[in-house]
Amino acid sequence: MARQQTYDVDQLKARVETAKTALDAQLNALLHTEAWTQTLKSMAVLGQTSIARFSFRNLMLLVSQRPEIHHAATFQAWRALGRSVRKGEKAVHVLKPRFAKRAAATQSADEADKQLVGFSVLPLFALEQTDGAPLEPTVTPRDFAEPEAFAHTVEQLRNAALASCPHVEAIEVRARRDGDSTGAYGWFNRATKSIVVLTDAPPHQQFATLVHELAHAILHGDADHHSRARKEVEAESTAFVVCHALGLDTASFALPYVATWANGDVEELAAAGENIRRASMVILDALQPPQADDEAEERAAA
Ligand SMILES: [Zn+2]
């Protein structure tokens, strides 16, 4: 009883326009409300059906259609996970870019051989619209009461960063020394490709500092550090997402209102959101056991 949805051309165009309008409204609303923290919490849900696996714009689009949504997948993907969409459930939609091959004459070696020509919609269903096998838990909550647990997590991040981030060659967690900046609990030095985290703060705060500096290295490693408010927002928001996902205390985070740092610019907001989402996924994936993702290609495209 597959109920794969099909649309005629006019219907498809209308759905794409509806989705674009909803996305604009959602981003504009985010600019002018205090909902940033809630947005970051939406990014902090893990697993292959997590809506954070989609682009930031599609994540916003999903939240605009179902504010409580945390997991979404196609009809077929839910089946593959042992769950079926309940009869009569209405799909939510994300925008899926459509590409055309570039003409050979205009194609250079570095240029992508495909050009964005428009969008189609991809119908998805939320977890709560499905029945069946329980989703495998994918979050391992962290508790740094045991020093070993903290050391292990730091080691995991260190190994992942050294293996995959070209802007990190050393991560040092050490006691404060004479000459260290009195106002800082850690820093990323772009020139020496090193991250330092000081141990004179509680472990959960040391961890947040490490993630913050790692986000700078991932996102800003090849550009000037600390030159713009947006870079601080990106690093601190990434730390918030990662700490929230791991069940760590986030009460001490003070994130400025979007209206302040994005200057009313929706493009700026969406670009920052995408950076935060990307850095958070890189770091959270490094802290979780690897898992198969059958939809990897489809999600990358969406
Ligand atoms: Zn910073």
Pair of tokens at residue 13: 């165009």
Distance (Å) from CA 226 to ligand 1 centroid? 6
For the beta carbon of residue 228, count every other beta carbon within 10 angstroms. Answer: 13
Distance (Å) from CA 31 to ligand 1 centroid? 22
Quote the pLDDT of residue 157: 93
**Residue numbers of the chain with a pLDDT score lower than 50:** 1-2, 292-297, 300
Distance (Å) from CA 283 to ligand 1 centroid? 16
Distance (Å) from CA 165 to ligand 1 centroid? 17
Q: CB-based contacts of 215: which residues, under 8 Å, 6+ apart?
A: 234, 235, 238, 239, 276, 279, 283
Distance (Å) from CA 187 to ligand 1 centroid? 7
pLDDT digits (tens, 9 = 90+) for 139-151: 678 888 888 989 9
| C-alpha to C-alpha distance for 184 and 217, rounded to whole angstroms | 17
Distance (Å) from CA 206 to ligand 1 centroid? 13
Closest by alpha carbon to 235, among 255, 259, 257, 260? 255
Distance (Å) from CA 99 to ligand 1 centroid? 37
pLDDT digits (tens, 9 = 90+) for 182-219: 889 999 999 999 999 999 999 999 999 999 999 999 99
Quote the pLDDT of residue 117: 87
Distance (Å) from CA 276 to ligand 1 centroid? 13
Pair of tokens at residue 104: 């050979």
φ and ψ of 171, to 5 deg: -125, 120
Distance (Å) from CA 200 to ligand 1 centroid? 18
Distance (Å) from CA 229 to ligand 1 centroid? 9
Model-wide pTM > 0.85? yes
Residues at Cβ < 5 Å from ligand 1 ion? 235
Distance (Å) from CA 214 to ligand 1 centroid? 9
Distance (Å) from CA 146 to ligand 1 centroid? 27
Distance (Å) from CA 216 to ligand 1 centroid? 7
